[in-house]
Amino acid sequence: MTRPDTAIFRSLREAGRALSAPLAAMGCGLLVCSIIVFLSGTHPWDFLAVTWKGSWGSGQAVAATLGKTTPLLLTGLAVSIAYQAGFLNIGCEGQLTLGALCAATLAALDLPLPRFVLVPCLALAGACTGALWAYPACLLKQRRGVHEVITTLLLNYVAIHLAQFLVLGPLGDGSAMGRTPEIPSKAALDPLWESGALGVTAAPPAALLLALGVQFWKSRTVWGYEATMTGSNPAAALCAGISTDRLQRRLFLLSGAFAGLAGSLEILAVHHRFYNAFSPGYGFDGITVAFLVNAAPGWLWLSSLLLAGLRSADKWLQILLGVSPNIIVVIQAVLLLAAASQGRLRERAAALFERTRRKPGGPSFPAEGRAP
């Protein structure tokens, strides 16, 4: 039988080949996760049903999930865009916190600006703060050769403590709660669609558009091509006349800006004021979001929806099944670990598949061109 070799089949086969590694990783991850769930005394099927109910089962659940998708998608985008240039930005949590604080403080000033100017300006201010907070890490990497992972991590702690200090001290509303004054209603994003107490604002579609825009930039523009080249082989990129340092600096700042934007949108759309510890680790989740789909900006929506669903289901897991919400973090870690080792997992799976397929009376000669 000849294989059909039309363009459609070829592209389908290529898509299958590209997807097989993440799918194998997902399969292994889910297997381990269900074993963990089983060991913790819950039937995996109940777990799945409750997770589905808590994330997509009702209008309110959908609104909660979509609301959590925005910061996850944007922090995932932040990690992914830095990774295009060969940098790992682990500092999203700090950049997000300070971006949110900056947006909340500026919004509370009640500037006499029309709404359609004010909201983008506030979002941009948050983004700029995030970029500024990413800058020292970039500087240390390029001047002193200190790995950016360690500096961004340390700057996270500095940012979180700094924000706590500022809302308890000079920027707070005077209460001992550790929060800023509520922002005026003209600075807040209105819900487009409401279900119960929760609404979906324009923030999730805006984040999705940004992610798709980054995918377009990466695959269709010269600058994006240069960035990909710098990430995969800096020496070759330098020889080809690309100023890699400047490119990496810009992308790193852009990455910080996306994380800061995630924080400011979270304030404008959801919380309407800055609370102490308002982020349940969105910045760290961004790493999982990005690496679950191999840092491809065009697929981030998928992984961020998955994680947002898990996050909005965690209290239901605790109420209905009595499972510690920490299991969400464990599942996330297992999926990330599986995704990180996907190349090798696929090889192993393929080898296993070959062996089982050829066992019952298969051809005894070695397969074409494959080393034993």
Partner 1 sequence: MTASHFIPLTLIKATPILLACLGGLLSELSGVVNFALEGMLLMGAFGAVWASFVTGSPWIGLLGGMAGGMLVGLLHAGASLSLRANQIVSSIALNLLAAGGTGMFLNQLFEVYGTSPAVPGLPTLAQSLSAFFPSSMPAGPWVRGLSLMVPMALTLGIAVAALLKWSRWGLDLRACGENPYAAAGAGIPVLRRRFTAVVAGGALSGLGGAYLSIGELSQFVEQMSHGRGYLAIAALILGRWHPVGALGAAVFFGFCEVLSEWLAVRWPRFPHQGFLCLPYLLCVLVLFCPLGKRRPPSALGKL
Contact positions vs partner 1 (CB under 8 A): 40-41, 88, 90, 136, 140, 144-147, 149-151, 153-155, 157-158, 160-162, 164-165, 168-169, 284, 287-288, 291, 324, 326-330, 332-334, 336-337, 340-341, 343-345
Decide: 259 and 286 in contact? Cβ < 8 Å: yes
Compare residues 90 and 269 and give the one whose CB is closer to partner 1.
Answer: 90
Q: Residue 192 or residue 333: which is nearer to partner 1 going by CB?
A: 333
Q: Closest distance between partner 1 and the C-beta of residue 40, in Å?
A: 6
Cα distance between residue 168 and residue 21, in whole Å: 48
Distance separating alpha carbons of residues 233 and 230, to the nearest angstrom: 5
Single-letter amino acid code for the residue at 65: T
Q: Which residue is listed with tokens 């604080």?
A: 101
User: How far apart are the C-alpha atoms of 321 and 319, rounded to whole Å?
Assistant: 6
Calpha distance 276→166 (Å, rounded):
10
Shortest reach from residue 323's CB to partner 1, in Å: 8
Separation CA 100–CA 125 (nearest Å): 9
Considering the complex, state which of residue 52 and residue 284 has its C-beta at the smaller distance from partner 1. Answer: 284
Element (H, E) at 198: strand 198-200
Contact of 95 with 159, CB cutoff 8 Å: yes
Question: Which of 201/230 has CB closer to partner 1?
Answer: 230
Compute the least distance from the CB of residue 170 to partner 1, in Å.
10
Residue among 12, 23, 72 nearest 301 (CA): 72
| Angle of helix 203-220 versus helix 244-266 axis, rounded to 10 | 170
Nearer to partner 1, 65 or 294 (CB): 294
State the nearest-atom distance from the C-beta of 184 to partner 1, in Å. 26
Q: Smallest distance from the beta carbon of 232 to partner 1, in angstroms?
A: 14
Per the structure block, which two tokens stand in for 181? Answer: 């004054």
Q: From the CB of 298, what's the least distance to partner 1, in Å?
A: 20
**Taking the CB of residue 368, how many other CB atoms lie within 10 A of it?**
5
In the complex, least distance from residue 348 CB atom to partner 1, rounded to whole angstroms: 8
Q: Which of 187, 181, 151, 183 has the alpha carbon at shortest distance from 167?
A: 181
Q: Which is nearer to partner 1, 93 or 226 (CB)?
A: 93
CB-nearer residue toward partner 1: 49 or 168: 168
